[in-house]
Every structure is written in structure tokens, then in C-alpha cells.
């Protein structure tokens, strides 16, 4: 082989060696990188233990946490898991995850061929930030019971315990949601057995107890205690509200009394009087005045629904109920709203002729009553515009004014009396003592509706909260206490008057009386729903 070939061969060998060495280095680096990646993955849940780590970006955090040894990180993670386990164990022992409750409501038993029957309704309210799936509710007191009908759940009875399990569409209890509308018709042989079904149940997820039978009651007691600690009792007035404040009027955006001083009406609305006539009585109103501190009653007369004034309701009976309510409130020195409660009719123009006749009769009858207020259209909806409402108001208001020159008149606003701001550009400027309705349900309506109300107030429109509750807009969902408190702060800051929905024992969250109470007056705290307790405490305090 000549020297030239030898040189070429040597160069080739050198290249091969260099390539092979590079490959070895790359493989080694890859293996080391893999090991480091595995080590980092094993400690991915290691908590950030310094303020620097909390305030840095991802790259800086990696550098800080990598400064800790694997042993230190493993020890920190172990300690955190131990603390979590302790918290979980404590939670399981107490039988409550906190913020999730099961309530059971029953109505009064009725006699039937099997003995006695009643309706039982179950609601799971999840106020926590967790999500629950595959739940089981266990309720004691069902030995000897027969389930005649059940909806929105599956069931079985084991001895004394009724076990409810979800159907496909309500298997998940999301954060800040309520699983409701679970109900059944239950038969027992005796009336006493019906009454022994408790108000609470146990909630299990994956076989573990997350809410004890008394969790809802304990949370309710704790909330009541917190409200009592935060509130200041309202001074008790001697004499009746009307004796002290007389005829009311509207000045600017405020209601003022006979002395020209700002005044706030704080009251309660009945449910539809066609369905709950028993609560339109003097003893009920007196309880609300003396025990709750209420100075206002709103009498809600539906117009379009079954039993409605303009459909198949008995108009004579309904007008008598309205009159009974006005007379009872007047005898007690309370203020009273006569409410033309449109809802399914969508637009007040649908029954404008009937409204004209009704308000002509009522305003003529109560022309000399200085405590009567007229609400001429409860909740226009279904695309009804402010122009539609104004057209209706310009028909009905003159009819009232013909008989009563200066009674306060409340006018509903579009979208279930939520869009009060739509009246700003074209208000009812031809009349005095006109107010504009705003309605809210605290778990649904928050800053969006408050902003509309504030915009209207700032524009000079007098706003009246003629209906509200602290649950969601269905009237039967979970209660939002934080939102309710924000609303009350807004109401008091702006001297707004209000009427809360509803004086009834209907089996829904917004009803103020517990569904298992058949009292129509003289209610004690045990007769009240959670909404009822909240409202009573709220009216009684500043």
C-alpha cells in the first residue's frame, strides 16, 4: 500500500472513531436526561415551599425546587399527604365534607285506602368547590313504608332505611349546584309513621359518608348564629307603621313619609292567592308585623295561570281575597300592595281591558286608604318591550288617578322586571308617585341586575324591589347567602323598599314557611324555611 492510500485509510479510521464517540456521548446524555426527567416527574406534586417559589414563573420555580434534594422533596410531599389524610379522616369522622347538605321535606299526611300517604321531597345542595358523582342518599324512618310513585331517582328500602340513587341525568352534583326535584309519594299504615320521617339524610360517594343526616341543620344553625353576631337589632317603634309615618309619597328616588323623611318599606309578598288563600288573614299579617318587623304586605293575584283572574279563576272570590288582605293590613297599620301578577300572559297588553276594570274598581274602593299601593304589571317578559309596558301604563294609570290622585303606583319592567334601565330614555314623566319594579333572585341575579338598578337610580328613576328571594331564579334552587347579603347592602345603601317572595309553605326554596308546617300564623323559627329565617333576621336587623 502506498503512502497516499495509507493517509486516506487513516483519515477514514479517524472519522469513524469520532462518529462512534459522538454517538456514545449522545446515548449517555439521553439516558441521563431520561433519569432526570423521571426523577422530576416523581416530584411534580412537591409544594412550593418559599415565597420566592410562590411569586416566580415556571422557569424560576424549577430552579428553586431543584435546589432541594430529592430526599427533602420526598419528605415534604409525604408531610403534605399526611396532613391531607388527617383532614380527610377528620372530615369523614364528622360525617360532612362541608358545604354539601341533604334536606328532606314532607307535607301533611292524607288518609287513603292504604292508611296515610304524603309527598316527600329530597334536595341535595352543594355549596362547596368540589364535584360529587355516583351518590347515594340514605334516609331513616321508612320501615313499613310503601313507595307509591317516585321521580328523578331510583330507590330501595333496607329495613328502616330508604336508599336513593341517581338516574343518568342527575348522577353528578356539580360545584355550587343543587340536585332537586327528587320526590316520591309514600304510604304508611298510620299517620304517626308519616310524621316520623326526618328532615335530613346521609349522603355517600364511593361508599364514604360526605354529609351526615344533621349536616344541613348544623349549617343552618351556624349561619343563624353568624347573622345574629353581625346584625344590630332594629329599634322597635311604638304604634303602627302607618300611625308613625302616614301617607307615603315619592320624592326624587326615595319614598318619604308624611314628615318628608326617607322611609323604607320592608315586607313580604304572598304567593298566588288562588292557591294559598289561607295566608291572607289578619293573624298572619300581625305575626309578620310584630315578630318579623314587617311593615308591608304584597297581595299577589295571578292573571293568566290556572285559577288566574283572567282565565278560569273565580273573580268574585279573588277580589274578596284582595279586599280581605287590604282590610287586614289596614287594621294593623301596615302598607299593602295590590299586585296584578302577570307572568304567563307575557305582556300586560293581553288583558288590558280586564286590568282597567279591576284597577278602576280597586282604586275607587280604596281611594280614601292612604296605605294602599298599586302594582299594575308584575313581570312583563317574552320579548315585551318598555314601549309596550309604557303603552299599557298610559292606559291604566289614568284610571287609577281618576279615583286616587296620589297613591304610589309600581310599574313592572322588561325581562321579568330586570331591565329597569330600559325606561331611562322614555320614563313615565306625566305622573307623580310612580316607581319602577326590579326583581331579583340572589343566586342567579348579581352585579348585572344591580348595575341596571343603579343606572336607573342615578338617572332619577325611583326603584322598588317588589319581589325577590335568596335562591336561584327557579324559586327552588340553592340559596346564595353571600349574594343575598350583597343585595341587602345595595338595598339599604339606596334606601330601596322591598317585598320578599313568598308567604306560603309550598315545597320550594323561596317559600318562607316550611312545607311541613300547616300554621297560617304565629310561626316559630322551627316553622320557617331557611329563606324564612334569613328574611326574618334581615328585617329585624339594620
Strand partners, 405: none
Going by C-alpha positions, the residue among 255, 321, 285 that lies closest to residue 503 is 285
Catalytic option among 375, 467, 508, 533: 467
296-302 and 266-270: which strand pairing? parallel
Strands 202-205 vs 132-133: parallel, antiparallel or unpaired: unpaired
Cβ atoms within 10 Å, residue 435: 22
**Three cell numbers, residue 502:** 313568598
CA nearest neighbour of 264 among 248, 275, 280: 248
Q: What is the 3-state secondary structure (H, E, C) of 78-113?
A: HHHHHHHHHHHHHHHHHCECCCEEEEEEECCCEEEC
All cell numbers assigned to 74 = 420526598
Q: Dump the DSSP string for 439-478.
A: EEETTT--HHHHHHHHHHHHTT--EEEEEEESS-TTSSS-
Active site includes 379? yes
Beta strand 161-165 with 154-158: parallel, antiparallel or unpaired? antiparallel
Per DSSP, 130 falls in state: -
Q: Can you tell me the distance from the alpha carbon of 107 to that of 366, in angstroms, rounded to the nearest whole number?
A: 38
Other C-beta atoms closer than 10 Å to the C-beta of 310 total: 19
Q: Which are the contacts of 513, defined by CB distance < 8 A and separation ≥ 6?
A: 503, 504, 505, 519, 523, 527, 528, 529, 532
Which candidate in 379, 508, 530, 533 is catalytic? Answer: 379
- With cell 333576621, the residue in question is 537
The set of catalytic residues is 379, 467
Amino acid at each position: 500500500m502506498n503512502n497516499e492510500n495509507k493517509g486516506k485509510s487513516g483519515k477514514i479510521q479517524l472519522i469513524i472513531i469520532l462518529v462512534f464517540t459522538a454517538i456514545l456521548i449522545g446515548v449517555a446524555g439521553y439516558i441521563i436526561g431520561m433519569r432526570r426527567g423521571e426523577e422530576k416527574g416523581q416530584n411534580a406534586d412537591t409544594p412550593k415551599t418559599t415565597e420566592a417559589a410562590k411569586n416566580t414563573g415556571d422557569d424560576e420555580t424549577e430552579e428553586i425546587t431543584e435546589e432541594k434534594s430529592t430526599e427533602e422533596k420526598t419528605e415534604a410531599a409525604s408531610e403534605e399527604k399526611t396532613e391531607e389524610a388527617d383532614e380527610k379522616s377528620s372530615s369523614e369522622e364528622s360525617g360532612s365534607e362541608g358545604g354539601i347538605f341533604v334536606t328532606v321535606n314532607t307535607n301533611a299526611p292524607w288518609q287513603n285506602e292504604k292508611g296515610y300517604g304524603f309527598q316527600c321531597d329530597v334536595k341535595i345542595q352543594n355549596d362547596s368547590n368540589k364535584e360529587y358523582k355516583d351518590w347515594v342518599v340514605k334516609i331513616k324512618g321508612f320501615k313499613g313504608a310503601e313507595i307509591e310513585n317516585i321521580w328523578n331517582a331510583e330507590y330501595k328500602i333496607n329495613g328502616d332505611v330508604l336508599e336513593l340513587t341517581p338516574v343518568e341525568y342527575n348522577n353528578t352534583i356539580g360545584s355550587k349546584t343543587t340536585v332537586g326535584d327528587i320526590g316520591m309519594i309514600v304510604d304508611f299504615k298510620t299517620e304517626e309513621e308519616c310524621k316520623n320521617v326526618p328532615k335530613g339524610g346521609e349522603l355517600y360517594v364511593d361508599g364514604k359518608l360526605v354529609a351526615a343526616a344533621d349536616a344541613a341543620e348544623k349549617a343552618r344553625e351556624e349561619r343563624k348564629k353568624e347573622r345574629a353576631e353581625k346584625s344590630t337589632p332594629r329599634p322597635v317603634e311604638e304604634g303602627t307603621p302607618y300611625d308613625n309615618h302616614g301617607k307615603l309619597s315619592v320624592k326624587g328616588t326615595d319614598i318619604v313619609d308624611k314628615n318628608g323623611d326617607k322611609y323604607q318599606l320592608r315586607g313580604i309578598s304572598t304567593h298566588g292567592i288562588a292557591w294559598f288563600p289561607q295566608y291572607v288573614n289578619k293573624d298572619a299579617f300581625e305575626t309578620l308585623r310584630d315578630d318579623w318587623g314587617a311593615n308591608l304586605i304584597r297581595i299577589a293575584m295571578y292573571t293568566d295561570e290556572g285559577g288566574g283572574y283572567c282565565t278560569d279563576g273565580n273573580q268574585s272570590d279573588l277580589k274578596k281575597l284582595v279586599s280581605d288582605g287590604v282590610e287586614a293590613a289596614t287594621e294593623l297599620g301596615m302598607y299593602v300592595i295590590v299586585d296584578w301578577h302577570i307572568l304567563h300572559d307575557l305582556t300586560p297588553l293581553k288583558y288590558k281591558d280586564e286590568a282597567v276594570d279591576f284597577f278602576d274598581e280597586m282604586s275607587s274602593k280604596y281611594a280614601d286608604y292612604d296605605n294602599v299601593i298599586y302594582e299594575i304589571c308584575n313581570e312583563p317578559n317574552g320579548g315585551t318591550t318598555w314601549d309596550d309596558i309604557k303603552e299599557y301604563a298610559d292606559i291604566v294609570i289614568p284610571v287609577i288617578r281618576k279615583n286616587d290622585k296620589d297613591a304610589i303606583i309600581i310599574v313592572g319592567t322588561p325581562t321579568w322586571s330586570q331591565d329597569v334601565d330600559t325606561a331611562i330614555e322614555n320614563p313615565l314623566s306625566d305622573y307623580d308617585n310612580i316607581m319602577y319594579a326590579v326583581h331579583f333572585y340572589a343566586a342567579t341575579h348579581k352585579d348585572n341586575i344591580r348595575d341596571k338598578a343603579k343606572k336607573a337610580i342615578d338617572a332619577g328613576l325611583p326603584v322598588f324591589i317588589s319581589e325577590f328571594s335568596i335562591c336561584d331564579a327557579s324559586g327552588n334552587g340553592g340559596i346564595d347567602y353571600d349574594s343575598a347579603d350583597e343585595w341587602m347592602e345595595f338595598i339599604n345603601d339606596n334606601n330601596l323598599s322591598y317585598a320578599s317572595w313568598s308567604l306560603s309553605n309550598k315545597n320550594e326554596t323561596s317559600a318562607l314557611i316550611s312545607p311541613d308546617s300547616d300554621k297560617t300564623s304565629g310561626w316559630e323559627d322551627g316553622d320557617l324555611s331557611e329563606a324564612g329565617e334569613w328574611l326574618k333576621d334581615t328585617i329585624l336587623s339594620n
